[in-house]
Amino acid sequence: MTIRHHLNDDLLIAYASGNLSEGWSLAVATHLAMCSTCRQSLAVAEAAGGALLEEIEPVGSDEGAWEALKARLGREPTPPVQPKVRPASAVIPEPLRSYLGADLADLKWRRVGTAHQIRVKTEDQETQVRLLRIPAGKPVPEHSHGGRELTVVLTGAFHDEIDEFGPGDIEDADGSLTHQPVANPEEDCICLAVTDKPLRFTSRLVRLVQPLLGI
């Protein structure tokens, strides 16, 4: 498995510092579980942040205030969802598998148009988290984005106007991108999708049924 689409620095730093809400953190942790390159980058970022904090000298003689500040900075306001390297036998890595309560073979899907989805329950009020299964060779209706969308491929692959995305790849999309992801013909594409605003579909018909589909 060769992963070509990685986390950007902003996401890595926000994840390391605990500044991502649960939905975004789950997407990042899922990618990290599959991507050794980004795990190494995360370790470097965490080490650099800790070293920088230790090197900053307090101003004046108020050592107590400085120690309190360091302690406060050291606390993570939103503990990031922790990745675990995916076992070879598992299609869905931890921590996502624990959120779903099962691995791929035991999941119960809900049909949404030509695709299927599972809502992933979190405590996060900011994002919507879904597992998607796009049938081999089939497209997702063309859409843009009301906000941000992170998509992590678990198995299979899809291609769109940007590139091709295979297992472990992550796509970071926003309102500037209009695309129509199409699953590659060899097998169904299963991916984790996290959004903070509804998708903006090009088709009027899809927009009419969008509230019923929950997307």
Average pLDDT of each block of 10 consecutive residues along the chain (215 residues)? 93 93 97 96 82 56 52 54 61 92 89 91 96 97 95 98 97 96 97 95 87 70
Residue 78: what pLDDT?
A: 56
Output the pLDDT for position 46: 86
Q: 104, 98 in Cβ contact below 8 A? A: no
- Are 190 and 156 in contact by the 8 Å Cβ rule? The answer is yes
The whole-angstrom separation of Cα 2 and Cα 45 is 23
47 in Cβ contact with 16 (< 8 Å): no
Q: Please say whether the beta carbons of 83 and 32 come within 8 A.
A: yes
Q: What's the pLDDT at 124?
A: 95
pLDDT digits (tens, 9 = 90+) for 44-77: 988 876 555 555 555 554 555 545 545 544 554 5
Tell me which CATH homologous superfamily contains domain 9-74: Anti-sigma factor, zinc-finger domain (1.10.10.1320)
Least Cα distance to 28 among 12, 17, 9, 41 occurs for 12
Could you give phi then psi for residue 6, rounded to 5 degrees? -115, 175
- Rounded to a whole number of angstroms, the CA Rg of the chain reads 19
CATH number for the region 96-213 comes to: 2.60.120.10
pLDDT of residue 138: 97
If one counts every other C-beta atom within 10 angstroms of the C-beta of residue 96, the result is: 24
Which pTM does this prediction carry?
A: 0.82
The residues spanned by each domain of the chain are 9-74, 96-213
User: 139, exposed or middle or buried, with CB in 10 Å at 0-12, 13-18, 19+?
Assistant: middle
